[in-house]
Amino acid sequence: MDLIDHPDNPVPDGAKTGFATTADGIRIRYAHWAGTGPHRRGTVTLLQGRAEFIEKYFEVVEDLRKRGFDVVAFDWRGQGGSQRVTRSSRRGHISNFRKFRTDLRTILKEVSLAHYAGPHFALAHSTGGLVLLSDTARLRTMLDRAVITSPLLGLPSGSHALGIGDSYRRFIRIITFGLLGKPPLRASAPKTSAVVEKIGYPLARLMSIIGLGRLYVPGGNSKLMVPFEKNRQTSDRTRFERCKKVLDKAPELGIGSATFGWLNAAARTMMPLRKRAAGPGIKLPCLMLGAGEDRIVSTPIVEDFVARTRSAAYVEIPGAAHEIMMERDVYRDQFWAAFDAFIPGFEAEQELAEARLKSTATVVRDANKAGLAGISQS
């Protein structure tokens, strides 16, 4: 499937596309671009979130290329232009995140590492961040560093995932004339949704066991987008509408709500990372960025995880919604400042500087030799 071009979201020049086939026979769509910056700084592989697709990241691809990075992007199985895993192409379903790890390893081996030289970096978002963190023992030999925005390590308090928390609090505020129902202060608020973790996860597990894992979670459906006013992804209307226009032109790229199977697979991947030993077990150097106004994943859980992880650093962007890379410029600028400070890293920058000095010294030496040779011949 070719990349979808739209006047408001043009395909970056020089794209090379194709499909990679995983060990279990799933065709994964990918695209890659060479960097355009004055100095080559490495290769970045993009790991999307749930229900996303390559076209959504064209602006990010251009931002990376201008910085001198080669870029590889791909669609997880079951979404975007990759092979679907259910008869209903709009179901956001997966039975085990191990399959996503297979997708990532396949792309790294057959595209990123095969076509481009290092150093190699990952830029992951949300679900992509969870996949990466669950496989760092293996990926440490394939990647040098990773930047993760809004990693899916827990669902936020208030039951936002099931869509009942805001409505419940609004009702209480109305009948008590504003005395009750106010959102708790962040310092005292629960870090995750008790409803989802105590009821939702066990229910998703049960539904998966009895063969109903492909059903949508409560309130889920096949709709691809919601109105801007109801979205929880970004406060930037222009970037939100740009994504909508792409889906209007190519609805086959999109998927609807998550299934019980997806929720069960996500829970089984997230919960082990809550263990105290999980943080010290992460060997891949990571920078994690939390969104201050995230209503899709739990930012406090991300903070907790980083506090237990010696190889990770944390930056929170106050006011930003979940999709930091698709947010307003005031938030994106903060993201790119943090990214530039961490990637490619001090050591890599030193190596690049030394390489440039050696190259300059070689040019000067050759020029001097040529000059001396000319004098001796005269």
Going across the sheet that includes 120-125, the strands are 16-21, 27-33, 69-74, 42-47, 120-125, 145-149, 286-291, 312-317
Helix (H, G, I), strand (E, B) or coil at 52: coil
Helices 201-209, 260-270: crossing angle, 10 deg rounding:
120
**pLDDT 10s per residue in the chain (378 long)?**
789 999 999 999 999 999 999 999 999 999 999 999 888 999 999 999 999 999 999 999 999 999 999 999 999 999 999 999 998 889 989 999 999 999 999 999 999 999 998 899 999 999 999 999 999 999 999 999 999 999 999 998 764 444 444 544 565 566 666 665 565 555 555 677 777 888 889 999 999 999 999 999 988 889 999 999 999 999 999 999 999 999 999 999 999 999 999 999 999 999 999 998 898 889 899 999 999 999 999 999 999 999 999 999 999 999 999 999 999 999 999 999 999 999 987 555 555 556 657 766 666 666 666 655 555 554
Task: Calculate Rg over the CA atoms of the chain.
Answer: 23
Specify whether the CB–CB gap between 121 and 344 falls below 8 A: yes
At the top level of CATH, which class does the domain 16-359 belong to?
Answer: alpha beta
- Report pLDDT for 165: 46
The Cα 183–Cα 198 span in angstroms is 21
Residues 6+ apart with CB under 8 A from 167: none
Phi first, then psi, for residue 25 (nearest 5°) are: 85, 20
Domain ranges of the chain: 16-359
- Report pLDDT for 162: 41
Length of the chain measured in residues: 378
Distances 99 to 74, 95, 104, 105, 134 between C-alpha atoms, Å: 14, 8, 9, 10, 12
Phi first, then psi, for residue 173 (nearest 5°) are: -65, -40
- Report pLDDT for 195: 78
Which residues does residue 29 pair with via DSSP β-bridges, in sequence order?
19
The Cα 117–Cα 197 span in angstroms is 42
Distances 170 to 162, 186, 228 between C-alpha atoms, Å: 16, 18, 20
Specify whether the CB–CB gap between 60 and 138 falls below 8 A: no
